[in-house]
Chain A
Amino acid sequence: MKNLIDILDITTEEIDALIDTANDIIENPGKYNEKCRHKKLATLFFEPSTRTRLSFEAAMLDLGGSVLGFSESNSSSASKGESVSDTVRTVGCYADIIAMRHPKEGAPLAASFSAGVPVINAGDGGHNHPTQTLTDLLTIKRECGRLSDIKIGFCGDLKFGRTVHSLIMALTRYENVEIVLISPEELCIPQYLKDILRSQNIKFTETRTMESVMSELDILYMTRVQRERFFNEADYIRLRDTYILTPEKLEDAKKTLCIMHPLPRVNEISTEVDVDPRACYFKQVKNGKFIRMALILKLLEVK
């Protein structure tokens, strides 16, 4: 593994190894806090994402390394001036590893050709965000104890949610994964994904409400339903409440259910759910840092 651009570029064995390292970091943090001493991570954010950037920076700091970089306040400036290739070639002269977010699809791949150091895709437009997917896989593994034999419900905006698309793609590689798609008709998953699921014989069903399937789920993955995805305000308001998770809707859920959300949330999970032991979304944030630590170690070939 030289870079991480797309989650499907790495094997399930490599994912397992990253998860094992992350688990070891969680159990023995002291063992790792000097591992990247004198190493530098550059966070190149051609569009802002404070949450993802902080997670990468915290990961490197917890490994004893240091961080440098920039975050563009508006994405338009990234399209002017210097090419991505030149920028990363320059940064590669200072830093040992690069985490890059860019509004254009494929920018991190283009960067990896000229950086000279490992490049991690920290999000490229609506395309890929593999460290989010690794975070989700680590969370599922820790909460359910396995990545196969699971029934996972995805709820909300399944049309534009790249987080959902990548996690679905990643899960197609595990045995006996059953997928339940809970969304309004306007926001169901793209046809190409359904085609992939069918061609790989992955069992999936579509439904409009979460109550109808709640009792069967091992994992409930919530996403935001954004106002701008709807043509009119009335549709948005009518549909929004259907996709808000409340304690009432959880009445029939399994005791072992794992509730996930990539965050930030707006109101799609009511704050009353936060105290429920099944709410895992803040654990997910912590896992995000640990899996990024494991990834940095792997890419820097630190033993």
Chain B
Amino acid sequence: MNIDPINNGIVIDHIKAGNSMEIYKFLDLDNVNSTVALIKNVPSKKMGKKDIIKIDKEIDINLDVLGYIDPDITVNIIKNGVRTEKKHLELPSVVKNVIKCKNPRCITSTERGIPHVFKLTDKENRVYRCMYCESSAKETV
């Protein structure tokens, strides 16, 4: 299968196989009106299989969101057919309005207009907790 290389845009690489759809949604790529290719199960020496997303336009990407989903993802910026930048991600210490708290006893379940904020409380195990009720994102998603 051939996907044309892009001239100017972004390649999101080393996505854990199967996660590309989730990233597509989180980055709201549905509302990007240039070509977007979502390539699944690409053979990879390092990962066995991986997913790749190519966007034929340089858009602003929320790196915190990507870092939250998977800090092993790399983001490549392509200009005139050449990779000009390779960004490695980090686990963000705070994610704001990316995930919603699912704890029905949490104030965010009823209060309108307050930010949904999760804080990294355990880096090793990648645990994020709701700023309001301390439910972990894993427990609640």
Binding site for B on A (CB under 8 A): 79, 83-85, 102-107, 109-110, 113, 124-127
Instruction: Give the chain A neighbours of B20 by CB distance below 8 A.
Output: none
Of chain A, the residue at the smallest CB distance from B108 is A106
> Which of A79, A83, A84, A127 contacts B133, CB < 8 Å?
A127
Known A104-B105, A125-B105, A126-B105; contact A109-B110, beta-carbon cutoff 8 A:
no
Q: Are A109 and B132 in contact (CB under 8 A)?
A: yes
Instruction: Give the chain B neighbours of A84 by CB distance below 8 A.
Output: 107, 111
19 A-B pairs (CB sep. < 8 Å):
A79-B110, A83-B111, A83-B112, A85-B113, A102-B107, A104-B107, A104-B109, A105-B134, A106-B106, A106-B133, A107-B107, A107-B111, A107-B132, A109-B131, A110-B107, A110-B111, A125-B105, A126-B105, A127-B105
Nearest chain B CB to A193 CB, angstrom units: 12
Instruction: Give the chain B neighbours of A104 by CB distance below 8 A.
Output: 105-107, 109-111
Instruction: Give the chain A neighbours of B111 by CB distance below 8 A.
Output: 83-85, 104, 107, 110
> Which of A83, A106, A113, A124 contacts B130, CB < 8 Å?
A106
Of chain A, the residue at the smallest CB distance from B136 is A192
Q: Are B110 and A105 in contact (CB under 8 A)?
A: no
Known A110-B132, A127-B133, A127-B134; contact A105-B107, beta-carbon cutoff 8 A:
yes
> Which of A79, A85, A105 contacts B132, CB < 8 Å?
A105
Q: C-beta contact mask, B109-120 vs A, less than 8 Å → 1, else 0?
A: 111111000000
Of chain A, the residue at the smallest CB distance from B101 is A106
Q: C-beta contact mask, B90-132 vs A, less than 8 Å → 1, else 0?
A: 0000000000000101111111111000000000000000111
Q: Are A106 and B113 in contact (CB under 8 A)?
A: no
> Which of B105, B112, B113, B114 contacts A105, CB < 8 Å?
B105
Distance A157 CA – B131 CA, assembled complex (angstroms): 26
Nearest chain B CB to A110 CB, angstrom units: 5
10 further interface pairs, Cβ-Cβ under 8 Å (given A104-B106, A109-B131, A113-B114): A84-B111, A85-B113, A85-B114, A103-B105, A105-B105, A105-B133, A106-B133, A110-B114, A110-B132, A127-B134
